[in-house]
Amino acid sequence: MRENIHKMVYLVLTLTIMSLLFLGCGAKENSSNTNEILLGGDYELTGGLAAVGKQTVNGINLAIKQTNDNGGVLGKKIKFIVADNKSEPSEAANAITKLINTDKVKLVFGSVASSNVLASVQIAEDAKIPLITATATNPTVTVDNGEVRKYIFRTCFIDPFQGDIMANFAINTLQAKTAAIYVDSSSDYSKGLATIFEQNFTKHGGKVLLKEAFLQKDQDFKATLTKIKAMNPDVIFIPAYYEEVGKILKQASDLGVKAKILGTDGWDDPKLIEIAGISAVEGTYFSNHYSPQDTDPHVVKFVESYRAEYNQEPSALAVLGYDAALVVIDAIKRAGSDDPEKIRQALEETKDMQITTGLLSIDQNHNSIKSVVVVELKDGQQVFKEKIVPTK
Ligand code: PHE
């Protein structure tokens, strides 16, 4: 009898514990399904572009934190899951596959580099999950052979625009007649820009004296720079990323290269000056997404909250990440749902939205029409030179 009572008590206790556990699991399962919106990030957290990858992620995180602190969106909190693509296209494809299949995110932000996004676009298209890049400027990211990729969007300008602007800047502002082009042939971004610059520079009466190439992770650029120096061009156009450009500028300065050196948005990271040194970057110019000297109240407010959160200065990438997240949050709000198809539709309808860097609309090619600034590096600082507002 006693034994039976013991058994009964044991059974009841076990059942109670099991049902509590079960209920607990159920509640937890429910909370992640209904109280959270899952968004993914496919980013360069290690490898050659880690510095800019982290800045972009910081910007996205800041916008999400502010939104969550204000009660979230559609009554839910946003959860941002980031996967490291190691700055490599094949890893970018792995990262987006994991985010979509394992983490079940509703949308993916990323990547920084055009080549990494290009390795992911088809995966997003097949899964019908929107992929939005804040930074990849190569035109083929959103448009494939004249056809718009349905699920891919971007919130930055495109390379034909910044390439044209740098060619015009060389011809008109610097009065250049001759140029050398030094291209990173491991990057779709760099190759695309080299072509655009050459076309526009030539169209305006300039002459391209030589085109040379290097690869990411190269260390020694002296032989090529010596060859360029011997041709004595007025300008050297280097549409590439800060790691290699930093080394090139240092070696060009050591070799006494006199030509003005021009670049594009891939130059924008403090590492450029860390690698090259202040004197080697003096008097170079590049196109960028925003100028830290902009006194627009939206920019000032953003810079203040970024400093307060991270105790560092934001680069253009941080602003771009932040703005892309604002665009996505706004789209989810307008969609009234976190259904990927509805978010996609709402992204397509983004019009005159106020973001940090101006008013943003997504055009029929899923691109953003935005202004470009040209900055000069002077005493180790980016000094604003020109702002070019696109004509619609
Ligand atoms: N625009 C570059 C690309 O498309 C990405 C980039 C932007 C990298 C800014 C560094 C800084 O590949």
- What pTM value is reported for the model? 0.90
Which of the listed residues 116, 135, 286 should we mutate to test ligand 1's pocket, taking the one with most ligand atoms within 8 A of CB? 135
The per-residue pLDDT for 198 is 98
Report which protein residue has its CA nearest ligand 1's atom 10.
266
In the block, tokens 């050459």 appear at: 198
113 lines ligand 1 (CB under 6 A): yes
pLDDT beyond 60 at 192: yes
The per-residue pLDDT for 10 is 58
Higher-confidence position of 370 and 142? 142
What band does 294 get if pLDDT is binned at 50, 70 and 90? confident
The per-residue pLDDT for 3 is 57
- The tens digit of pLDDT for each residue in 42-97 reads 999 999 999 999 999 999 999 999 999 999 999 999 999 999 999 999 999 999 99
The per-residue pLDDT for 306 is 97
Q: Which two tokens stand for residue 328?
A: 């996505």
36-157+296-371 and 160-288 share one fold: yes
138 lines ligand 1 (CB under 6 A): yes
The per-residue pLDDT for 20 is 46
First to last CA, the chain: 89
- What is the CA(347)–ligand 1 centre distance, in A? 22
Beta strand pairing call for 381-388 and 235-238: unpaired
In one-letter notation, the amino acid at residue 235 is: V
The per-residue pLDDT for 391 is 75
What band does 33 get if pLDDT is binned at 50, 70 and 90? low
Which of the listed residues 57, 154, 189, 244 should we mutate to test ligand 1's pocket, taking the one with most ligand atoms within 8 A of CB? 189
pLDDT beyond 50 at 30: no
Rounded to whole angstroms, the Cα distance separating 259 from 227 reads: 13
- What is the CA(265)–ligand 1 centre distance, in A? 6
Rounded to whole angstroms, the Cα distance separating 290 from 82 reads: 25
40 lines ligand 1 (CB under 6 A): no
60 lines ligand 1 (CB under 6 A): no
135 lines ligand 1 (CB under 6 A): yes
Q: Does domain 160-288 have CATH number 1.10.260.40?
A: no
The per-residue pLDDT for 22 is 47
For 5, other C-beta atoms within 10 Å of its C-beta total: 9
- What is the CA(269)–ligand 1 centre distance, in A? 10
The ranges assigned to domains in the chain are 36-157+296-371, 160-288
The per-residue pLDDT for 9 is 53
Q: In what order do the strands lie in the sheet with 260-263?
A: 207-214, 178-184, 235-238, 260-263, 285-288, 372-378, 381-388
Q: What is the CATH number of domain 36-157+296-371?
A: 3.40.50.2300
- What mean pLDDT is reported for the chain? 92
- The tens digit of pLDDT for each residue in 134-187 reads 999 999 999 999 999 999 999 999 999 999 999 999 999 999 999 999 999 999
- The tens digit of pLDDT for each residue in 321-364 reads 999 999 999 999 999 999 999 999 999 999 999 999 888 999 99
- The tens digit of pLDDT for each residue in 253-286 reads 999 999 999 999 999 999 999 999 999 999 999 9
265 lines ligand 1 (CB under 6 A): yes
Q: Please report which residue ranges of the chain form alpha helices under DSSP H.
A: 2-34, 50-69, 89-101, 114-118, 121-127, 159-168, 188-203, 222-231, 242-254, 270-276, 278-281, 297-310, 316-335, 340-348
How many residues appear in the chain?
A: 392
